Amino acid sequence: MAKYILKFSEIGATDIGKVGGKNASLGEMFNHLSSKGISIPDGYATTSAAFWHFLAHNNLTEPLKELMAQLDRKGYANLNEIGGKARDLFKTAKFPPDLAAEIISSYANLSNGPEIEVAVRSSATAEDLPEASFAGQHESYLNIKGEDELVGAVQRCFASLYTDRAIKYREDNGFDHSKIALSAGIQKMVRSDKGCSGVGFTLEPESGFRDVVHIAGVWGLGENIVQGTVTPDEFLVFKPSLRAKKRAIIRKNTGEKLLTMVYSDKGGTTINIETPEDLRRKFVLTDPEIIAVANWGLLIEEHYQKPMDFEWAKDGLNGELYIVQARPETVHSREHSITIHEFKITEKGSVLTTGEAIGSKITSGVARILHSPDDAEKLQAGEIVVTELTSPDWDPILKKAAGIITDKGGRTSHASIIAREMDVPAIVGTGNGTTQIKDGDIITVSCAEGETGTAYAGKLAWKETAIDVKNIQMPEHTQPMLIVGDPGKAFKLSFYPNNGVGLMRLEFIINDTVKVHPIALVKFDEITDKETKDKIEELTSQYPDKKQYFIDKLSQGVATIAAAFYPKDVIVRMSDFKTNEYANLLGGKDFEPIEANPMIGFRGASRYYNPRYKEGFQLECEAMKVVRNEMGLTNVKLMIPFCRTVEEGKKVINVMREYGLTQGVNGLEVYVMAEIPSNVIQAEDFAEVFDGFSIGSNDLTQLTLGIDRDSAIIADLFSEQNKSAKEMIRMVIEKAKRMQTKIGLCGQAPSDYPEFAQFLVEQGIDSISFNADALIKGIGNICSAEAKLSQHIAQAFLQKSLTN
């Protein structure tokens, strides 16, 4: 006789047909990973046999088949009616006494004393397969206590097999309704309502990048993450550093966490309360806890041999962490194509709202303001849903949407997950989308401009390019590299054909993430403006030492890019703001001089040893030490910009040594930008000080031709193709080759002008760095140049042979 109850200790991965994917996974982990240190609350599950017994006891099989036969499979106009009738059949059914007795007996054994609180979770027998996830389709009930409550919760779980969203999901994925059973998992309750909880992915959920664990968390129950009710904290952990027991947390973002979900006084129900201000500012997990959860994620992934997503919880009563669920990751695990679809907006319009970008696409269409799933009939296929937040009840509606915009939620909210699964752009956490966008407006949704997604008024123009990476031929001799500044794009860009990052600008991270002038953090008390001081206090509220704020934010930004391209070289250029740009940072006006021509003023190397900025440069160095020495990202090389003299170069090298960054130690290489005529004229001398050159063609052209490249009046005179500018480039490459020093170039010209790429290849340059949107064209130009050069050499050799 088939068993109605199986303990977790009796369940394994092969039991999906008996207890569904969710419960099979819990049993598998309980039996095989508990011994490796993963804490998994004990429990048991009703089997598929129990579900069929429930149906047979109430003669429900045929009535359910008849109802499903009446379903409108074209427009699903009667989905709500059919689903409601199906659920009513379950709700009015009588629970089989023998099954109830087994559930209660197992509950008593689990409690082993006074009755305990349990979670009752639904697990469909075709659930959580790599090719189809039923996640969120069925109901779960938390904080259930007592025999009657427990049996009632199991019955409600059975009924949830026929939620509207579950019916539609099975239709979309070709499942026969009559062949799917529902298993109820009964698990000891983790009191995360008094602690915190969240989700994790053993890859980066946006790009599918495999070398990180992504963790998100909120105070209280984790439903607020799934529903997108709040913006969670987010953490990224780099797997190679984690395995090497290095400092592995490469990114920490504080979410707003405005609400905390807790249990109400009524069993099985929950309520949201406002999160206290001090907890909003505080991370839900400490660094050791983040590492513990990430290590568990690694163990889970290694056991299942595939990317996984999992749910974790921290019990607020005993302070212990637990894994309460795990399933195969279903978006990127299905992807086999290595075609890059590049989207680039080519027209700008009026900004309606901004938020976190999900995906990297652009779309336009009619904006449809929806306040609940009851508004479903208002949405036409191809329109853009604009709403406060979404939940699994929205799934049938969102299938018709061309894009999604929500007021609330973060990168792991329900709207984000659905957007990725449907491969449509979404902007989440706008805060004001439903008020700034009017129902019926034509809008453009752009997620192709970094981590920030933007909704523009009207239908704007954009360009889409499909690139099959398999068909891209890489050059034989000249390395194509990337120019990167935005950590938010790093994981996606890592899939592009490249030999690493030839120029990583710190300015984007300082502007976008740090926001504060480093000296304003060193000399906070000297800031004169109260409003500025208040803003800095707010940004640095978690840091007793404000300098540490700069070090953490900068090191995490650099580490994200370095991790994305590891172990390929990532050449990080130390800060190269001009004085007017530094002054725009918070607190900057108090510490920056006013210059008539900042472009050729107090910038680059001259700042690093100058008392005006030396302490700021120390913070930059401290951040680079964290990245290289503590995180283990030794693929980071450092580069000094705008170094006017050899003596100045030596001063900077000495200052770096003073701050703990010594050339050659731990493989550290320090490059210099070749962007001033003096760098070219004295290239041999600079090569004695530095490990490599990177030609900054914009500044070198500017200073060779005496053109202010910020001046619109003489902009037409600026050209890297100018004979004098090219001669300067030829000279510095020739000298670098003679000194056996590496040399590359960063700039747009080699992608725009094939003849310029030809010129660089002929000179024997080692690498050329491109912005992402120019990389593919640039690679093509390099390959053509190399082919022509080879042909020219072959012809010359043949001519010489014939002459001889």
As annotated, the active-site residues are 414, 746
Number of H-type helices and E-type strands within the chain: 30, 30
Closest to 510 in 3D by CA, of 546, 542, 555:
555
Q: Are 550 and 516 in contact (CB under 8 A)?
A: yes
On the 0-12 / 13-18 / 19+ scale of CB atoms within 10 A, 800 is exposed
489: left (phi over 0), alpha (psi -120 to 50) or beta: alpha
Q: Are 130 and 306 in contact (CB under 8 A)?
A: yes
Q: What is the phi/psi pair of residue 503, to 5°? A: -150, 115
Task: Give me the sign of the Cα torsion angle 735, 736, 737, 738.
Answer: positive
Q: Are 616 and 228 in contact (CB under 8 A)?
A: no
CA dihedral 293→298→299→304, nearest 10 degrees, is: 130
Q: Are 553 and 626 in contact (CB under 8 A)?
A: no
Tell me the C-alpha distance between 411 and 186, whole Å. 29
Task: Give me the sign of the Cα torsion angle 734, 736, 737, 738.
Answer: positive
C-alpha gyration radius of the chain = 30
Tell me the C-alpha distance between 120 and 252, whole Å. 32
Closest to 157 in 3D by CA, of 189, 192, 129, 181:
181
- Residue pointed to by tokens 């043949």: 798
Closest to 487 in 3D by CA, of 548, 419, 563, 427:
563
User: What secondary structure does DSSP assign to 583-652, as a single string?
Assistant: HTSBTGGGT----S-GGGSS-THHHHTSTTTHHHHHHHHHHHHIIIIIS--TTEEEEE-S---HHHHHHH
On the 0-12 / 13-18 / 19+ scale of CB atoms within 10 A, 718 is middle
Tell me the C-alpha distance between 802 and 606, whole Å. 57
Tell me the C-alpha distance between 429 and 410, whole Å. 6
Q: How far is CA 343 from CA 405, 773, 796, in A?
A: 19, 9, 44
Q: Are 209 and 234 in contact (CB under 8 A)?
A: no
Tokens, residue 470: 């398999």
Across the beta sheet with 196-201, the strand order is 249-253, 233-238, 212-219, 196-201, 308-314, 321-328
The verdict on whether omega for the bond into residue 544 sits within 30 degrees of 0, i.e. cis, is: no
Q: How many residues does the chain have?
A: 804
DSSP code for 586: B
Q: Are 198 and 214 in contact (CB under 8 A)?
A: no
Other residues' Cβ atoms within 10 Å of the Cβ of residue 37: 10
- Per the DSSP assignment, residues forming a β-bridge with 404 are 385, 426
Tokens, residue 567: 């172990």
